[in-house]
Amino acid sequence: MPLTQALTRFFRHEAAGGILLMLAAFMALVIANSDLNAIYRGILEMKLSVLLEGQGLSKPLILWINDGLMAIFFFLIGLELKREVLEGKLRKPADVMLPGMAALGGMIAPALIYLVLNRGQADTLQGWAIPTATDIAFAVGLVALLGSRVPAALKVFLLTLAILDDLGAIIIIALFYTEELKLIYLAFALLPLAGLLWANHVGLHRMAPIYLLGVVLWVLVLKSGVHATLAGVVTAFFVPLTDRFGKSPLHSIEHALTPYVYFLIVPIFAFANAGVVLGGLTLSDLAAPLPLGIAAGLFLGKQIGVFGMTWLLVRVGAARLPEGVSWVQLWGIACLAGIGFTMSLFIGSLSFAEDHHMNAVRLGVLAGSLVSAVLGYVVLRLAAKEEDQVALA
């Protein structure tokens, strides 16, 4: 098979985004623990500036990635949320209730486990939200590798849970990771916001004005002290679902942007943030409150929260398991929800600025996500084999 055809087939596969994410994280680990580490860190700390008459933005490359590129990632998340609410999985409240409550349980339990393990640690308590996240690309990628072995209803459950988990992460960032507010910039931000509102109201079919207004909003939100990635979500909510010609700008942008986000932006983020320096690390380092709280929150907390909340709702008769889904398969999905990679690293970068704390965050996120991924994959694969044996009997 020609190389171009092989690459095309790879990038069309549902698991492609997750595989690239894993490769990017692996490369970061290798480079961070080699002689290239100084160059790697130097490039990430290199300052890039956009100035006009001496005024503007001047940030290290790592912050352009975390604040800039991730705003595009959140823009795509916002588009997905709007589409799902208006015409997809989140349109009917009855369909949202079970995965929604599972997502809520999967955020509360990890946070509680983290807080218990970090009680009395004033310098690490602010990291409580790190293990509450679920990485869509990783989780969906692993499910895609199992193909038809996973029931379609279970895939829908995972997608809905992950989307609602992202919504929860957006709310957490807005409420708990806002710096000192500069109200003058928020006041100015109302101007591009009004423009976006008008564009959505009239069903504007040209997207260039929306992109421009979104960039202006991003700069003003960044200057205000509110985390700039939220500007991406807000901009997405004002992209018209249908324009005055009956076409869908939202669908077009989402379709065009998705490969760039999952095949470029997210791997770049992973490469920039996953470089854990392993030299000299021992098991006692993983047992420290910060990395242990994250790892245990992802691995145990997600299972307890997602599986426990689902079991409780089904047991009291408030909901039913998705059609064709067994409790073992649901446990496997609960395990995969513990893959917090991208979002957990992102929230970690908002929680801690010190290098030693961030190295501990990376260690906890990688450990918790890895064991969650392995266990979830094994459980789902064994559950599929058991279903096959029952069908043949």
Q: What pLDDT was estimated at residue 195?
A: 92
Kindly report, residue by residue over 280-330, the tens digit of the pLDDT: 677 777 889 999 999 999 999 999 999 999 999 999 988 888 888 899 999
How far lies 355's CA from each of 95, 257, 269, 277, in Å?
43, 32, 17, 11
Q: What pLDDT was estimated at residue 19?
A: 82
Q: What pLDDT was estimated at residue 5?
A: 73
pLDDT at 390 over 60: no
pLDDT at 357 over 70: yes
Q: Using alpha carbons, select from 345, 294, 263 the residue that is nearest to residue 18.
A: 263
Model confidence band, residue 207 (pLDDT cutoffs 50, 70, 90)? confident
Q: What is the DSSP letter of 170?
A: H
Domain assignment present for 5: no
Domain assignment present for 47: yes
Kindly report, residue by residue over 95-108, the tens digit of the pLDDT: 788 999 999 999 99
Q: CATH number, domain at 296?
A: 1.20.1530.10
More confident residue, 64 or 388: 64
Kindly report, residue by residue over 144-154, the tens digit of the pLDDT: 777 777 888 88
Highest mean pLDDT among 106-115, 222-231, 314-323, 355-364: 106-115
Domain assignment present for 367: yes
More confident residue, 109 or 199: 109
- Mean pLDDT over residues 376-393, rounded? 70
Kindly report, residue by residue over 12-55, the tens digit of the pLDDT: 766 677 788 888 888 998 998 999 999 999 998 998 887 776 67
- Mean pLDDT over residues 263-270, rounded? 88
Q: What pLDDT was estimated at residue 52?
A: 72
Q: What pLDDT was estimated at residue 106?
A: 95
Q: Using alpha carbons, select from 168, 163, 108, 112 the residue that is nearest to residue 135.
A: 163
Domain assignment present for 210: yes
Q: What pLDDT was estimated at residue 393?
A: 44
| Percent of the chain topping pLDDT 90 | 32
Model confidence band, residue 392 (pLDDT cutoffs 50, 70, 90)? very low
Q: How many domains does the chain have?
A: 1
At 297, list the tokens.
């929150």
Q: What pLDDT was estimated at residue 385?
A: 67
More confident residue, 258 or 309: 309
Q: What pLDDT was estimated at residue 10?
A: 65
Question: Apex CA 118: angle with CA 112 and CA 123, to 5°?
Answer: 125
Q: What pLDDT was estimated at residue 132?
A: 92
Domain assignment present for 7: no
Distance CA 128, CA 118 (A): 9
Q: Using alpha carbons, select from 255, 261, 253 the residue that is nearest to residue 204.
A: 253
pLDDT at 186 over 80: yes
Domain assignment present for 1: no
How far lies 367's CA from each of 85, 202, 215, 279, 336, in Å?
34, 49, 36, 16, 13
Whole domain around residue 128: which residue ranges?
A: 12-392
Domain assignment present for 303: yes
